[in-house]
Structure 1
Amino acid sequence: MVTEVQWDNPASLLKLDQVSKVYGEGETEVTALHPITLDVKEGEFIGIVGPSGSGKSTLLSIAGALLSPSKGNIYISDQNITSLSEKEMTDIRLRKIGFIFQFANLVPFLTVKEQLLYIAKLKGEDKKEASKFAEQLLKTFGLGHRMNHYPNQLSGGEKQRVAIARAFMNNPDLILADEPTASLDSKRAREVVELMKQEVKKNKKAAIMITHDEKMLDVCDRILTLRDGKLLRENEV
């Protein structure tokens, strides 16, 4: 079970202020995302559901500074990142955001520990400190005995846990997960999601998880629904 942690006046780690996304112009114009306002606080683990093509991945890409909105503003830890240069956006992604995808996408020629250390190398962190932190994360995710193994020596669940540990390696404020359990059986999926939430709560992060797996929704603090590019109110179905 995940231990719930509460704080007074938790900080906002992600704010979307009337953010929308439109592709094309005139007769070819398609609205992928209607104006959305969302505030995600530290310690929150939010689930987003909705049918395919509802705008979930677009929303996650905008929140993760991978895609620029057509209108509106994006704030990460109260910093408006909407108009930053591509170089500055890359720096935000490296320092502030951790990504988890449906497939682990591990580098086949790197060991489990090296997968994490590569992130630290990109940030230019001290090697000794990075090594200690990587080992700590891997132990937290039950991978202490797998540090020197390669991806082809891991099970599917272990690979995904490596991917999650890697997402936490840059000590991000915000974790964004796109169908992180789609390739796992229900038991492993549950373990992975609860581990994610545990780290979010313990370290005052925030997380958004897109999922089609209704069995994972009870782990979430809030469940938001997207339909036709519109974010429904939390009591709407």
Structure 2
Amino acid sequence: MEDLLLLEQISKVYGDGDTSVKVLDDVSLQVKAGEFVAVVGPSGSGKSTFLSITGALLSPTSGRMMIGGKEIHKLSPKKMNQLRLEKIGFIFQSSNLIPYLTVQDQLLLIPELSGMHHTNAKKRAHNLLDRLGLMHRKNHYPESLSGGERQRVAIARAWMNNPDIILADEPTASLDSERGRAVVQMLADEVKLHQKAAIMVTHDKRMLDLCDRIVYIEDGILSEKKKK
């Protein structure tokens, strides 16, 4: 299996001289197609910075990151934006749906930004909503959805452009155990079915058995332990 995501000796330092703070310290990670990786660690351990760099939202101080064999931090800002839109899907803990857009329009906004033909985009949106059990909600607004439904919409939106990499930041934080597990199971199934790579930052240890690998981050240092 190919490495869809490769981080090599990534460090991130804020500030200069005696006031500098190293948030990430020589972090390296490989994620192959079909792998679902959990990242866990205490608050302030560097998880948010790690996810921001992995999502090409923040540049590292040193090290390199490759997506699909391409070193991304050498790209121009325009090409970087295009890469984020085409190659990376984001799922946030609060779903971050746009309140004045229907469920269907939440999904159609993504391909509109990337220039996908409307007919193809609508077909893909309906396919995703059907697979996630949301077709009957396609014309509803976020305020009328349950927490689990909003997160399923967020998952569908993240998959809309068929990205190689999915990044999920505490996707179960606002859900009860049953709904949270259903959301993570959907994510795991999609990764396996379509041979994508996914990283989920989480505090919820009840979800770790659904992941292929677990990495720990503390004081900016990443380590991996084998699952029992």
Please say whether Structure 1 and Structure 2 have the same fold, judged by a TM-score greater than 0.5. Answer: yes
1:35-50 paired onto structure 2 within 5 Å: 35-50=26-41
User: Are the aligned partners of 2:214 and 2:224 in contact in 1 as well (CA < 8 Å)?
Assistant: no
Query: Separation in 2 of the partners of 1:87 and 1:25?
Result: 29
Cα deviation for residue 152 of structure 1 reads: 1.2
User: Are the aligned partners of 2:108 and 2:122 in contact in 1 as well (CA < 8 Å)?
Assistant: yes
Q: Deviations over 1:2-28 (max 9, x none)?
A: xxxxxxxx1111000111100111011
Which of residues 132, 152, 168 is equivalent to 1:161? 152
Q: Provide the secondary structure at the position in 1 that maps to 2:171.
A: coil
1:1-237 paired onto structure 2 within 5 Å: 10-234=1-225
| Number of residue pairs matched by the alignment | 227
Q: Provide the secondary structure at the position in 1 that maps to 2:216.
A: strand
Cα deviation for residue 235 of structure 1 reads: 5.1
AA partner of residue 132 (structure 1): K
Q: 1:129 to 1:235 in 2, by over 3 A?
A: closer
Query: Separation in 1 of the partners of 2:224 and 2:193?
Result: 28
User: Are the aligned partners of 2:214 and 2:226 in contact in 1 as well (CA < 8 Å)?
Assistant: no
Gaps of 5+ in 1: 1-9
Query: Separation in 1 of the partners of 2:22 and 2:66?
Result: 22
Identical-pair percentage: 59
Cα deviation for residue 68 of structure 1 reads: 0.1
Gaps of 5+ in 2: none
Query: Separation in 2 of the partners of 1:154 and 1:134?
Result: 18
Query: Separation in 1 of the partners of 2:123 and 2:226?
Result: 44
Q: Provide the secondary structure at the position in 2 that maps to 1:82.
A: helix
Q: Deviations over 1:84-142 (max 9, x none)?
A: 22222111100000000110111111110110000010010010010000000011111
User: Are the aligned partners of 2:46 and 2:217 in contact in 1 as well (CA < 8 Å)?
Assistant: yes
Q: Deviations over 1:149-187 (max 9, x none)?
A: 111111111001101100000110000001011000000
TM-score, length basis structure 1: 0.94
AA partner of residue 65 (structure 2): I
Query: Separation in 1 of the partners of 2:120 and 2:95?
Result: 25
Q: Provide the secondary structure at the position in 2 that maps to 1:191.
A: helix
AA partner of residue 182 (structure 1): A
Root-mean-square deviation (CA), in Å?
1.1
Query: Separation in 1 of the partners of 2:16 and 2:122?
Result: 50
Query: Separation in 1 of the partners of 2:175 and 2:4?
Result: 29
